[in-house]
Structure 1
Amino acid sequence: MAFKGGEPFAAPVAGTLVYGVAGIIILGIASHWLAWRVRVAPILLFLAVGFIAGPMTGFLDPDTMLGDLLSPIVSLGVAVILFEGGMSLRAREVRKTGAVVGHLVTVGVLITWILSAIAAHLLLDLSVSLALLLGSIVVVSGPTVVGPLLRHVRPRGAVGPVLKWEGIVIDPVGALLAILVFDAIILGDPGAAALSTLLSVLSAVFVGSVLGVVGAALLVLGLHRFWIPDFLQSAVTLMLVLLAFVGANAVQSESGLLAVTLMGIVLANQRFVDLERIIEFKETLRVLIIPALFILLTARLELGDLAVVGGASLAFLGFLILVVRPVTVALATRGTDLSLRERIFVAGLMPRGIVAAAIASVFAIRLADRGLTEADLLVPYTFLVIFGTGIVYSLASRPLGHLLGVAQKGAGDVLIVGANLFARQVAKALGRAGIGVLLIDTNRSNVTQANVEDLNARRCNALSDRIEEEIELERITQVLVLTPNDETNMLAALHLGDYVDRAEAYQLPMTERKEPVGTPARRLAGRMLFGSRWSYARLHDHLRSGWVVKTTKITEEFDWEDYKRLYGDDFVPLFLVYEGRAWPFTSAHWPTPEPETIIISLAREDESVEAVPQERISS
């Protein structure tokens, strides 16, 4: 029973449901926040929390709490997750590597299925039918696990888009394969099963594709003609997603996941309407649904399921990681444009997520109802693969990426909006401190001058809706808006804050005509740099009067107190660099430089301070 205890105003079952649902949401969001705080893969905490809340303590019992509603709730949750994942896919990402993704989700799926099934039969001693079913379940990956790992590793080039597309597109393909194998097991006649499988595949692809495109077209038409008011956009979107899912499944079993995934992809790549409100809504749904499903399904495990952990099951896990995935990638990407290093990295990343857990849980229930004795092994083995691949890839993917040279080093690059004199000085100083910098500006002469000064600068509008097509925003983890225009600074910080953590979008303070606290300009602005007094005009005046942006390493011999004594009041601290990233000085965050950190400041030029290190400093 979920959250056992008295319920003074409701029947026991109602009390169980209320406490259980509230507990799942609370535990899910709390564990997600904790994962962000301690910088670990969220899936690991979701699984751990679910196991503690379920089999270890008995606080959650999903079967008692939801009963027959468990399977449809999980199915609808997975549908929303795949729709959200589809909306994160941009066709431009795979223009050069579309063939790679196509091979991985077709030929790669078949190779993974066959090799995994053979390993399950030989190592786990499962029957051929159950081994084929388990093999079909572990072919899927998913946005719930691939996305966080890619953000953690930050791969360069084609690797990131290939893995992101594979992780999302492979889910409906794998789910379709799994249901076809399941149907074949139920039919029991190989000949009839083969014919049924072929017809089902063709029908599912057709139905899923048609309803996915139709669902997206209806939403775009409704938004374009203003038939849907702003306050109903998110609700109507969810309605159409669920309608496409259940409609496709009603026409052809298990075609719904393909329909919602394709619906998301079509919406993400259309150019007719703005989807900002819908994107914000689907991200909120993702944050709620993913941890809830992981905790819900993990809580269904029993302590006795740990008995499957042993030499044979660990050998099966190792075979999936060390043999199946590398062989699959080697064969599926042969002759493609991926370099050897990129192919090795792709071979080293294939975690399993919520779709595998959901499919295994649903099939285990159906097989148990039909009296299949091995059905109770399906879920424990699947969760072993989810746990194992999550742990291994979370720990190994980043070192592997750095070893192969396909992952970005440090904490990511800084995007500076503006290529004026002050912005160029800041970019040079950050570069001397080992921070990667990209400058963008609409002023051609500013960009040209920045390039002449050997800075990485591009002519680009920070407010453009297509900015992600013009620069690699995946590499950016911090935005500094340093233009002379207050309105541009505010809008650019607001716009680019959608692509980085909002807390990492900074802008220069307003000019001397300060806006009162609480006005739209203040509410919408990014975090203010360097204290409230240092507007662009004031900083620029100091540069014109001979001040320069300096990079200085603080040491035991030359500490922060020495630095302050040297410059007195003639300097403005701008950034403190440590742990591979730049921490801006702001009114709310004024750090104290410690030895082995680097301070970047705007200070007077003085020959007496030539001894202060100004060479490129590695942090």
Structure 2
Amino acid sequence: MAVASEVAGLGPVNAIALVGALGVGSQWLAWRLRMPAIVLMLLAGLIVGPGLGIFDPARDIGPLMKPMISIAVAIILFEGGLTLDFHSLREARVGVRRLVFIGAPLGWALSAAALHYTAGLGWAASSVFGGIMVVTGPTVIAPLLRQARLQQRPAKLLQWEAIVNDPVGALAAVLAFTVVLVMADTATVGEAVTEFSLGIGVATILGLAAGWGIAQGFTRGVVPEYMKVPVLFTVLVAVFAASDAVLHESGLLAVTVMGVVIANAELPSYDELRRFKEHATVLLVSGVFILLAANMDRDTLFAMEWSTLGFIIVVILLARPVTVMVSLLGSDVPMKERILIALTGPRGVVLVAVAGLFAERLVELGYDDASKIPALAFALVAATVVWHGFTLAPLAGWLGLTADRASGVLIVGGSRWSTALAKALQDAEMPVLVVDRNRSRLRSAREAGVRTYYGDILSEDAHNTLDLVPFEKVIAATDNDAYNTLVATDLAPEFGRENVWQIARSREESRRHTLPVTLGGRELGSGRTHRELSSLMLQGWRFGRTNLTDDYTLEQWEADRPDGVPMMELFENGSVRLLGPEHPPREKSGVTLLAMLPPKEDSTSRD
């Protein structure tokens, strides 16, 4: 009873603080443990909610919970729309089109059949919930793809299918619900069709108009830079609310269309918007999953029967595989990729949020069996998240669809020094790529058998065609200090600032030429500039690898090679640690030290 009295005092502020701490804390812990973040978030919500009874969203947050979840889902779908840059769909276009136009209707029908025959729902509730089950959850797919490190095409197929099918699934549920309304004699067929068509039309027009208006306003400087994100957020919520007022859940379509328009408008400030929405999505996904898990009551959880387990098995092992295989039949998607996609279909936030809403409305219309929908939705999300979270990476590895797991190095700037470094890394069986805007500078790398890319690493073509999954580290090593700084600054949010390095800039005596610490990357090596490194290569310096052991330590290496310049530490698991003036090598056995060595010391390296 003492616990109950303390719990009763948990107010909205404390509740929201708890949600934030649990959500972000789960994401951080998952990153440290290399586990699926969604799994930990579900566990955290279940523990503080139905487990210990510390947090009850309906009690502690009250009537604000549903609007909060609705707006959060809208922002998440808008974020999904912002990733739909049509230029990046080249390799996956046919597959995505088939998964949407063939897969969505077929998946709807198979899901409804699974609900009726295994979970025992009537056809009315099954048809509505079956439409929602079309969604595969972009908020769940994204972290799973980061963890599994899939090859580019299957990853894009899964990502695009999830993003596009999210609003499609919600609209399928709306369509099924209008049919149920007609069957319940609450509306005529004409009224239902008119309302549905009007809602879809308004949602599409609002999304297109809002996206075009934002793009024009930002491009023409109508909105100042510091107000772009607040204006975007305000318009987003307004569009969602206006569309939803015409037809419930059509707001999901409106915000998705708005995001797609902005994503393809080639805005100069798009990177800032993308980074903001990525940060917002991390917070929102964390919060929504904690809220939904904590909102489950014990009676509902314990009420799950064997039929629930049978329903989940049928969906994962029958409905999803049949949907994908039929959709991709006759396409150019290889069979291995079809198998991977067929066995990967995690459900997420939209499914649980929208299912709960329609369940309430169906019960109000007299369909009592719809009361089972929230529990089934939660069980399906939890089961698919946990199942795919632990099986996607092994399955991709078994099918040979995993990108190289070694921590590869991306070198920007072709030169004799870059080629020598790339060749040394390649000899150590590490993925490496040399990029340069000048084809002639890549000649020595090509002759050495090193993989190269001719073009600007910051270009749209590089963004759309280069598979950067195998590369964890970036070294900006051109002869232009300003460009090196630009590359390091631009790629830092994507790779992580701790993974972006550059060769030393030319020394400037005047403080007027000193750049702030927020620009550029970490300094590599001994602080030598491009000119100095090129000069050393002309003098005969080379790269050498030395295995450090208990018998041959770092101290002995330094004594044997006083002029050697440590550049990297290579580990047995394929990872790499770059070295510099502020990040010296560490005394550790079992590490291979990669260093620049003068001619007289090159021959003494112990490979």
Q: Normalized against structure 1, the TM-score is what?
A: 0.90
**Is the 8 Å Cα contact of residues 86 and 265 (structure 1) preserved in structure 2?**
yes
2:592 aligned residue (593, 598, 619): 598
Question: In the TM superposition, what is the alpha-carbon distance from 1:573 to its structure 2 partner?
Answer: 1.2
1:279-298 aligned at under 5 Å gives the runs: 279-298=274-293
Moved segments of 4+, more than 6 Å = 3-7, 190-197, 514-518
Question: In the TM superposition, what is the alpha-carbon distance from 1:234 to its structure 2 partner?
Answer: 0.4
1:426-437 aligned at under 5 Å gives the runs: 426-437=421-432
What does residue 349 of structure 2 align with? 354
Structure 2 residue 332 is the aligned partner of structure 1 residue 334? no
Equivalent-residue separation in structure 1 for 2:477 and 2:385 (angstroms):
40
2:79 aligned residue (81, 84, 94): 84
What does residue 534 of structure 1 align with? 528
What does residue 308 of structure 2 align with? 313
What does residue 575 of structure 1 align with? 568
**Is the 8 Å Cα contact of residues 41 and 394 (structure 1) preserved in structure 2?**
yes
Q: State the AA in 2 paired with 1:88.
A: T
Structure 2 residue 543 is the aligned partner of structure 1 residue 552? no
What does residue 95 of structure 1 align with? 90
Q: State the AA in 2 paired with 1:251.
A: V
Q: State the AA in 2 paired with 1:360.
A: A
Q: State the AA in 1 paired with 2:228.
A: Q
What does residue 364 of structure 1 align with? 359
Choose 297-306 or 202-211, whichever is displaced more: 202-211
Q: State the AA in 1 paired with 2:539.
A: S
What does residue 390 of structure 2 align with? 395
Equivalent-residue separation in structure 2 for 1:399 and 1:488 (angstroms):
40
Q: State the AA in 2 paired with 1:462.
A: I
Choose 520-529 or 533-542, whichever is displaced more: 533-542
What does residue 214 of structure 1 align with? 209
1:168-567 aligned at under 5 Å gives the runs: 168-189=163-184, 199=194, 202-370=197-365, 372-464=367-459, 467-469=462-464, 471-513=466-508, 520-531=515-526, 533-554=527-548, 560=554, 563-565=557-559, 567=560
* CA gap 1:366/1:548 in 2 versus in 1, 3 angstroms: same
* CA gap 1:217/1:475 in 2 versus in 1, 3 angstroms: farther
Choose 126-135 or 439-448, whichever is displaced more: 126-135
Question: In the TM superposition, what is the alpha-carbon distance from 1:146 to its structure 2 partner?
Answer: 0.7
Equivalent-residue separation in structure 1 for 2:88 and 2:240 (angstroms):
26
* 1:523 match: secondary structure: coil
* 1:49 match: secondary structure: helix
Equivalent-residue separation in structure 1 for 2:332 and 2:590 (angstroms):
42
* CA gap 1:190/1:96 in 2 versus in 1, 3 angstroms: farther
**Is the 8 Å Cα contact of residues 204 and 254 (structure 1) preserved in structure 2?**
no
* CA gap 1:199/1:156 in 2 versus in 1, 3 angstroms: farther
**Is the 8 Å Cα contact of residues 153 and 398 (structure 1) preserved in structure 2?**
yes
* 2:493 match: secondary structure: coil
Equivalent-residue separation in structure 2 for 1:434 and 1:209 (angstroms):
50
Q: State the AA in 2 paired with 1:284.
A: H
* 1:319 match: secondary structure: helix
Question: In the TM superposition, what is the alpha-carbon distance from 1:300 to its structure 2 partner?
Answer: 0.8
Equivalent-residue separation in structure 2 for 1:141 and 1:262 (angstroms):
18
Question: In the TM superposition, what is the alpha-carbon distance from 1:543 to its structure 2 partner?
Answer: 2.3
Equivalent-residue separation in structure 2 for 1:363 and 1:209 (angstroms):
22
Equivalent-residue separation in structure 2 for 1:498 and 1:428 (angstroms):
28
Equivalent-residue separation in structure 1 for 2:562 and 2:481 (angstroms):
27
Question: In the TM superposition, what is the alpha-carbon distance from 1:79 to its structure 2 partner?
Answer: 0.6
Question: In the TM superposition, what is the alpha-carbon distance from 1:577 to its structure 2 partner?
Answer: 1.4
What does residue 616 of structure 1 align with? none
Q: Normalized against structure 2, the TM-score is what?
A: 0.92
* CA gap 1:33/1:357 in 2 versus in 1, 3 angstroms: same
Question: In the TM superposition, what is the alpha-carbon distance from 1:380 to its structure 2 partner?
Answer: 1.6
Equivalent-residue separation in structure 1 for 2:598 and 2:417 (angstroms):
14
Equivalent-residue separation in structure 2 for 1:594 and 1:336 (angstroms):
51
1:585 aligned residue (557, 579, 588): 579
Choose 508-517 or 46-55, whichever is displaced more: 508-517
Equivalent-residue separation in structure 2 for 1:51 and 1:310 (angstroms):
19
* 2:517 match: secondary structure: helix
Q: State the AA in 2 paired with 1:79.
A: A
Question: In the TM superposition, what is the alpha-carbon distance from 1:34 to its structure 2 partner?
Answer: 1.7
Choose 118-127 or 49-58, whichever is displaced more: 118-127
**Is the 8 Å Cα contact of residues 403 and 469 (structure 2) preserved in structure 1?**
no
Question: In the TM superposition, what is the alpha-carbon distance from 1:409 to its structure 2 partner?
Answer: 2.2
* CA gap 1:415/1:252 in 2 versus in 1, 3 angstroms: same
**Is the 8 Å Cα contact of residues 113 and 135 (structure 1) preserved in structure 2?**
yes
What does residue 115 of structure 2 align with? 120
Choose 84-93 or 251-260, whichever is displaced more: 251-260
Choose 545-554 or 49-58, whichever is displaced more: 545-554
Q: State the AA in 2 paired with 1:127.
A: G
* 1:343 match: secondary structure: helix
Unaligned runs of 5+ in 1: 614-619
**Is the 8 Å Cα contact of residues 576 and 593 (structure 1) preserved in structure 2?**
no
* CA gap 1:262/1:514 in 2 versus in 1, 3 angstroms: farther
Question: In the TM superposition, what is the alpha-carbon distance from 1:169 to its structure 2 partner?
Answer: 0.8
Equivalent-residue separation in structure 2 for 1:518 and 1:312 (angstroms):
70
Question: In the TM superposition, what is the alpha-carbon distance from 1:465 to its structure 2 partner?
Answer: 5.5
Unaligned runs of 5+ in 2: none
What does residue 617 of structure 1 align with? none
CA deviation profile, 1:413-467 (whole Å, cap 9, x unmatched): 3211111111111111111111111111123321122212221112222344554
* 1:338 match: secondary structure: coil
Equivalent-residue separation in structure 1 for 2:316 and 2:188 (angstroms):
30
Cα root mean square deviation, aligned = 2.9
* 1:600 match: secondary structure: strand
* CA gap 1:608/1:386 in 2 versus in 1, 3 angstroms: closer
Q: State the AA in 2 paired with 1:549.
A: F
Equivalent-residue separation in structure 1 for 2:195 and 2:532 (angstroms):
69
Equivalent-residue separation in structure 2 for 1:577 and 1:194 (angstroms):
68
Question: In the TM superposition, what is the alpha-carbon distance from 1:312 to its structure 2 partner?
Answer: 2.8
CA deviation profile, 1:159-188 (whole Å, cap 9, x unmatched): 122111111110100011122323433443
* 1:335 match: secondary structure: coil
**Is the 8 Å Cα contact of residues 402 and 409 (structure 1) preserved in structure 2?**
no
* 1:473 match: secondary structure: coil
Choose 546-555 or 26-35, whichever is displaced more: 546-555
Q: State the AA in 1 paired with 2:249.
A: E
CA deviation profile, 1:111-166 (whole Å, cap 9, x unmatched): 22222222222222223323333322322112210111111222224212211111
Fraction of identical pairs, as percent: 32
